[in-house]
Structure 1
Amino acid sequence: MVADRFGPRRVAVVSDAVRCAVVLAAAVAVMLASPSVWLLVTVALIFGVVDAVFMPAVGALPPRITAPDQLARVQGMRGLSIRLSNAVGPLLAGTVLVIGGAAGAFTAAGVLFALSLVTLLTVRITPSAEVPQRASAWRELGDGLRYVRRHRMLAPLVTVIGLSEMCFSGPVATGLVLLAEERGWGASGMGWIASAFSVGAAASALLLTVSTRIPRAGLVMCGALLATAAGAVALGHAASLPIAVMFGSLIGLTSGFTTTLTGALIQTETDPRYLGRVVSVTTLCTLGLAPVLFPAVGITVALWGADMFFIGCGAICLLAAALGLSVPVIRHAELHPSSSASPAGG
């Protein structure tokens, strides 16, 4: 809602500046006094609030800076950068902590946020053709939710995203830990599976980045969901670590395809006036449900074993694929400008 009200670039710049200032302030605080839990809690709370504004704003930027037929490539680049950051970040953090301690780590993070801010300031977007009509915040929020509900593609697509990301937005990491413990593979075994998952996801991002066109994107997305469902069940029943690693890479590859294509379809089909609010809804579906699902993972594994958790993940992905295949507008979706970007779905 904030991104739609004030513009995605402006919101992204301001929120990134706040993140930079908070981290640098934390670095100064650690230099002047010993770090405390309350400092970390305060930083985490502020970050949570600012990220809730920053992420939808950044998600609303791609249609303003590239052509619709390039959105899948942009999403692939974004996924690839995230995977590379996840790989390099811990190594960099460990090195900085050894050399400069907590103050050095906060300072380094602040410098990285400053570089991010400078990069955002260089981004130029296509201005919206329509002048937004300001209404109250609650009315704009209600308008966004009604837009999603009435749109013939977005309503089922957001549901598909929620189902497909339900297990893979966080709970699967807990499931991998418990699976490795149950099978006696230990922490190193869990690390191998998680690494394979990341490699598979990076491979999907790279493939989509170099692909000039994704024909029948909706059908490809549904096929990837079916493969993810099969891979999740197979991972839960893997008899040895090498087999688990193989299926972990498969899940990373196919779930990466799904995430990238659903994101590109959201950006292609959504009216730019509502894109920030729609991205907020999908972010809530992918990240907001994770804290609620973590206890469910532990209870499921404790009662029925880790394999049952992965069977459940497979069933949910299968349900998402079935929903996508049952909705013609999703099944036949293409990554090109669509007339369905009206609230009523055209």
Structure 2
Amino acid sequence: MDAGGHTTAVETARNTDDNTANTANTATPEDTTAPPKTGWRRWVMDTRPLRHRPFRRLWSSTTVTAVGSQLTAVAVPKQIYDITGSSAWVGYASFAGLLPLVVFALWGGVIADRMDRRTLMLLTNAGIAVTSVLFWAQSFAGLDSVALLMVLLAAQQGFFGMNSPARQASIARLVPAHELPAAGALQSTVAQTGMIVGPLLAGALIPVLGLPVLYLIDAIALCVALWAVWLLPALPPLIEPAGEGADGSRRRAGWRDVADGFRYIATHRILLLSFLADIIAMVFGMPRALFPQLAAHTYAPWGEGFALGLLFAAIPLGAVTGGLMSGTFSRARRHGLMVTVAVVAWGVAITGFGLSANLWWAVAFLALAGVADMVSMVFRGAILQSAATDDMRGRMQGVFTVVVAGGPRLADLLHGTVGSLIGPRAAVTAGGLLVAVSTLGLAAAVPAFRRYTA
């Protein structure tokens, strides 16, 4: 979730930023190379992208909203459960948010390729902020309407679906190509940190301040982030979108453009393989649906609630650790090989988790999986930014958003079903092995992917 800036301030930023050469409508960064780090500094987080003021503003908007968005993510299901007393209604609400997220992410990707991405981020971020204010208003007024909550959640996810492709596709315009992995690591680390801190903070604040305050904090954070995006430079299309009507007017963005995006993926093997690697890792290797059963049975001696909390926190903690140590990998040039190694490592770590009867070994393997997931996210994101042309980046990010949102939900269905048939640990182990073997098979079948260099 992002936010925005003023035209005069943008022009000032363009003229005063020593590290970014933003010409009048292109926002193209200088391809400057910082002196190599030495000693221990070469291992810690790679912060080179923060030298560029526009990216620093985009990143700061993500930082501000990372925790606030998680407060709302906890508050909505909590309020629905308080009203209904039913976990089923919590699940229905989740599905109500998934459908608009998928639809508007795909459509938003097309729009992000056809209009100024900064403008699109401003409009959609304002929409997200308005829904957060409405969440606060209904909770403060004590309306207790599940239908209203589901409508607001669907609207919020629709706005987020349109916002995400524009935000992610803008990164390649704000930092040099060789800094894309580092920029991805910075973005992902903040998001993962929010996933840890936000729920913990929500759990501490709900008994003291109540649900309305959580919504209000998110709304305030979104307004602050909106100012950060307002200060970004203009990000219009570098290439005018093709297609005009008979009268010479520009053809409106439609679902034919979405189909063009999928055809683009199908004809670019590097992009196709990056998506397939992610789908394999998430669908076969994300066993979160089995965490409650494992906590209740396999790891019960350590305390069911304690074990469940550790299982859910382990992967994000590993991802944050990987992000903080991004200097160890962000300068790698062979992006395809890094994705291959990271996804195989994820599969091996998940296999180790499935074989672990000891809670602490299980948490350690999940944390290693989190590190591998961070590396995979960084280089898959870099491939999407560098291998796609600017007029297609929005659509690529829209598809990426759908994969990220839909993959884990398919994994929940698959692991829940298979786990009930063969047992949770066997399902996890089989899934991890399938990830590793399938990824190695893809890499062997398409050598160009593992050889891909930015």
Normalised TM-score (structure 1): 0.89
How far the C-alpha of 1:96 sits from its partner, in A, is: 4.1
How many angstroms does 1:217 deviate by? 2.3
2:154 pairs with 1:154: no
CA distance in structure 1 between the partners assigned to 2:174 and 2:163 by the alignment? 17
Amino acid at match of 1:146: R
Cα distance in structure 1, aligned partners of 2:403 and 2:261: 15
- The superposition leaves residues 272-303 of structure 1 with CA deviations (integer Å, 9 ceiling, x where unpaired) of 10111111112222212433442322221111
Shift of 1:167: 4.5
Partner amino acid, structure 1, of 2:255: W
Spell out the pairing of 1:1-346 with structure 2 (5 A cutoff).
1-124=110-233, 127-133=236-242, 134-136=250-252, 137-167=254-284, 171-185=286-300, 186-208=304-326, 213-318=331-436, 319-335=438-454
User: Is the 2:192–2:319 contact (alpha carbons within 8 Å) kept by the matching residues of 1?
Assistant: yes
- How far apart are 1:130 and its partner, in Å? 2.1
CA distance 1:6–1:278, shift in 2 (3 Å)? same
Amino acid at match of 1:81: V
Q: CA deviation at 1:211?
A: 5.5
Q: 1:110 to 1:297 in 2, by over 3 A?
A: same
- State the identity %: 22
User: Any stretches of 5+ residues in structure 1 without a counterpart?
Assistant: 336-346
Aligned pair in 2 of structure 1 residues 290, 210: CA closer, same or farther (>3 Å)?
A: closer
C-alpha contact 1:83 1:202 (8 A) present in aligned 2: yes
SS, match of residue 5 in structure 1: coil
Q: Is the 8 A contact 1:216 1:332 kept in 2?
A: yes
Q: Following superposition, which runs of at least 4 residues in structure 1 exceed 4 angstroms of deviation?
A: 209-212
CA displacement 1:170-220 (0-9 Å, x = unmatched):
x52222222222303322113223333222111212222675611322212
Compared with structure 1, are the counterparts of its residues 95 and 234 closer, same or farther at alpha carbon in structure 2 (3 Å cutoff)? closer
Structure 2 runs not aligned, ≥5 long: 1-109, 243-249
Q: Mean Cα displacement is larger for which, 137-146 or 14-23?
A: 137-146
Aligned counterparts of 1:310 and 1:196: Cα–Cα separation in 2: 16
Q: Secondary structure at the match of 1:132?
A: coil
In 2, Cα distance between equivalents of 1:211 and 1:237? 28
Cα pair distance change 1:105/1:248, threshold 3 Å: same
Q: Partners in 2 of 1:159 and 1:63 — Cα distance? A: 22
- Distance, in Å, in 2 between the alignment partners of 1:324 and 1:120 is 39
Provide the residue aligned with 1:338 in structure 2: none
**AA partner of residue 138 (structure 1):** W
Q: TM-score, normalised by structure 2?
A: 0.69
Q: CA deviation digits over 1:229-274, x for unaligned, max 9? A: 1111111110211211211111111122112111111111110101
CA distance in structure 2 between the aligned counterparts of 1:80 and 1:41, rounded to whole angstroms: 29
Number of aligned residues: 333
86-95 or 150-159: bigger deviation: 86-95
- Distance change in 2, residues 1:199/1:32 (3 Å): closer
Cα pair 1:225 1:321 within 8 Å, conserved: no
Give the 3-state SS of the residue equivalent to 1:55 in structure 2: helix
Please say which structure displays the higher CA radius of gyration. Answer: 2
CA distance in 2, matches of 1:70, 1:218: 16
Amino acid at match of 1:92: L
Q: CA RMSD in A?
A: 2.1
Offset of residue 66 of structure 1: 0.7
